[in-house]
Amino acid sequence: MMQEVFDKLKNLQDILSRKYEMEKELFEIPKALNTKKELLIRLRKDFIEKNDLLTETQNKIKHLKFLLDEAEHEREDYEKQMDIITTQREYEALDKEIKSATERGQQYRKDILREEKEQEVIKLSLEQEEKMISQQQLDLAEEEEKIKAESLDKEKVLADLTVQESQIIPGLDEDILFKFERIIKSKSGLGIVPVKDYVCTGCHMVLPAQFQNDVHAGEHILFCPYCSRILYYEEDLIQDEYSFSDADSGGLSDLVDMDNIDFNV
């Protein structure tokens, strides 16, 4: 009877490992999409900011041209007054005003040229970003379709695994199932392992002789006191089939309380 339980747990282990891996993949799938969405949001934000900057620059150019027209009109008016002046003092005053208007006009022209160059740079940048936004929107749409298809496929596999799980668990102790599921999740999909030469093949720790004999007897479900995995005995076990890194090892305390655990179920 216990052999039947062990066989069920081994089959359930395969199913749960695939199920949890599939759930992880489904959880990870949207991350790539979120990255593309965030990039598109940043591109749109930059586009809006640069478009506002373009409007501001265009307004500056418009204002500078207005000031230039004013300076030129002032200069022309002062030059016309030169024909009707009668004193040296009037000449000097008009000449000063003409020079001032001329200098202001020259400065306005320089400012206009500078702002017009900046305007062209912004326009070019906006054109490039507009293309990037369009391409990013296409990429996002393609990624959404791809993710939708991948998710549907994985959800079908997950549903099939859930059905398989429901067919195996009847008759298994609920408390054992609860612990077993936690072990599978925390131990890289490995929750039940065989004992080989007094050694747990999950964490490679040497087990007490009597404990190993109890496992060999196969009368109860026993948990490894070091890594918390369920143990069973298997004849003619090839050691290399169960080779794991030190990272797989761990104490029972990471899953259940050592003082409360009953190694015999």
pLDDT in tens, 114-133: 999 999 999 999 999 999 99
User: pLDDT for 78-92, tens place per residue?
Assistant: 999 988 888 999 999
**Cα(222)–Cα(215) distance, integer angstroms:** 7
Which long-range contacts does 70-77 make (Cβ < 8 Å, 24+ apart)? Answer: 71/101, 71/102, 71/104, 71/105, 71/108, 72/101, 72/105, 74/101, 75/101, 75/102, 75/105
Report, as an integer, the average pLDDT of 140-154.
89
Q: Supply the pLDDT for residue 219.
A: 87
Tokens (6 digits) for 228: 């918390």
Distances from the Cα of 96 to the Cα of 81, 92, 93, 179, 256, angstroms: 13, 6, 5, 97, 95
Report, as an integer, the average pLDDT of 137-159.
91
Q: Supply the pLDDT for residue 109.
A: 96
User: pLDDT for 37-64, tens place per residue?
Assistant: 999 999 999 999 999 999 999 999 999 9
Q: What is the pTM of this model?
A: 0.55
Q: Supply the pLDDT for residue 236.
A: 53
146, pLDDT greater than 60: yes
Angle at 204 between CA 199 and CA 205, to 5 degrees: 70
236: helix, coil or strand?
coil
Q: Supply the pLDDT for residue 43.
A: 94
Q: Give the CATH number of domain 20-168; options: 3.40.50.150, 1.10.287.1490, 3.90.1150.10, 3.30.10.20.
A: 1.10.287.1490
User: pLDDT for 234-263, tens place per residue?
Assistant: 775 444 444 434 334 444 334 434 344 443
Residue holding tokens 């506002």?
Answer: 52
What number of CA atoms fall less than 13 Å from residue 183's CA on the CB side? Answer: 32
Of the candidates 195, 199, 189, 206, the residue with the CA atom closest to the CA atom of residue 237: 195
More confident residue, 108 or 83: 108
CB 91 within 8 A of CB 82: yes
**Cα(147)–Cα(162) distance, integer angstroms:** 22
25, pLDDT greater than 60: yes
Dihedral class, residue 87 (left if φ above 0, else alpha if ψ from -120 to 50, else beta): beta
Mean pLDDT of the chain: 86
Distances from the Cα of 83 to the Cα of 86, 95, 96, 204, angstroms: 9, 12, 16, 111
Residues contacting residue 72 through CB under 8 Å, at least 6 positions apart: 101, 105
Q: Supply the pLDDT for residue 56.
A: 97
Q: Supply the pLDDT for residue 130.
A: 95
**Cα(46)–Cα(126) distance, integer angstroms:** 9
Q: Enumerate the β-bridge partners of residue 233.
A: 195
Q: Supply the pLDDT for residue 96.
A: 95
19, pLDDT greater than 50: yes
Report, as an integer, the average pLDDT of 215-228.
90
Query: Which of 23-27, 60-64, 88-92, 175-179: highest mean pLDDT?
Result: 60-64
Question: 108 pLDDT band (50/70/90 cuts)?
Answer: very high
Domain ranges of the chain: 20-168, 174-254
Q: Supply the pLDDT for residue 147.
A: 87
Q: Are strands 230-233 and 192-196 parallel, antiparallel or unpaired?
A: parallel
